[in-house]
Amino acid sequence: MSKKTCFVVSPIGEERTEIRKHADTVLEHIIKPALESEFDVKRVDEIYHSDKIDEKIFELLTNSDLVLVDITDNNPNVFLELGYRIALNKPIIYIRQETPENIPFDIRTINIISYNIKDGGEKTLRNVKIAKERISNTANHLKYSPHNNLKKENLEEILYHDILEIKTTVNNIFNNLNKFPSLDDKEDHHNPF
């Protein structure tokens, strides 16, 4: 059985920057260990393709079973991709480095899993363990559509067959209803009126 897919959206930054080091640490020590037993976990810079980068990102946002979004630092690109995924109404897990910075108002009520890789030592190890468990447990409780990774042609074929089944069911219902005489057709011998 093939694994489900998880696309990771996060600030990535240029190589050897603090943003990239942070993103790589979170990916390798929190996200992948939490999900890779059930998911093929990829971030856009790990995917080799010849498409335009934005087309590839939107394809992954559309077709991945799960999107895990790191909203650390309120990156505008991350929020654009998050908004696109929200519009698709497909599973999302939100994570964020603990910080005193406010979470944007529109998503404050969403369950956001916090992690902290900046404290160091035992505190960080405990925090990472808790974050991995929460991510894994959340992923296990989400509902995934079996149609997420289907090509357009396959999806059209499935929808066509589903519509035929619905049509057959409706026809059967009408045929069964027609077997019963209507109330107008019945003569009620016991009714004096």
Predicted confidence band of residue 96 (pLDDT cuts 50, 70, 90): very high
Alpha helices in the chain (DSSP H): 18-26, 32-35, 53-63, 76-88, 121-141, 152-178
Is 90 exceeded by the pLDDT of residue 146?
Answer: no
C-alpha span between 19 and 170 (Å, rounded): 57
Mean pLDDT for 21-36 is 96
The pLDDT value recorded for residue 184 is 59
Overall residue count recorded for the chain in this entry: 193
Q: Are 135 and 31 in contact (CB under 8 A)?
A: yes
In the chain, where the domains are located: 4-141, 150-181
Predicted confidence band of residue 186 (pLDDT cuts 50, 70, 90): low
C-alpha span between 76 and 78 (Å, rounded): 5
C-alpha span between 63 and 126 (Å, rounded): 33
Is 60 exceeded by the pLDDT of residue 35?
Answer: yes
Query: Tokens 């992948």 belong to which residue?
Result: 32
Mean pLDDT for 151-166 is 66
Is 80 exceeded by the pLDDT of residue 148?
Answer: no
The pLDDT value recorded for residue 86 is 94
Is 90 exceeded by the pLDDT of residue 159?
Answer: no
The pLDDT mean for the chain works out to 85
Mean pLDDT for 19-48 is 94
Q: What is the CATH number of domain 4-141?
A: 3.40.50.450
Q: Are 3 and 38 in contact (CB under 8 A)?
A: yes
Predicted confidence band of residue 187 (pLDDT cuts 50, 70, 90): low
**Closest to 65 in 3D by CA, of 36, 100, 39:** 39
Mean pLDDT for 50-68 is 90
Residues pairing with 124 in the sheet: none
Mean pLDDT for 128-152 is 83
The pLDDT value recorded for residue 154 is 61
As given in the structure block, the two tokens for residue 107 are: 């998503």
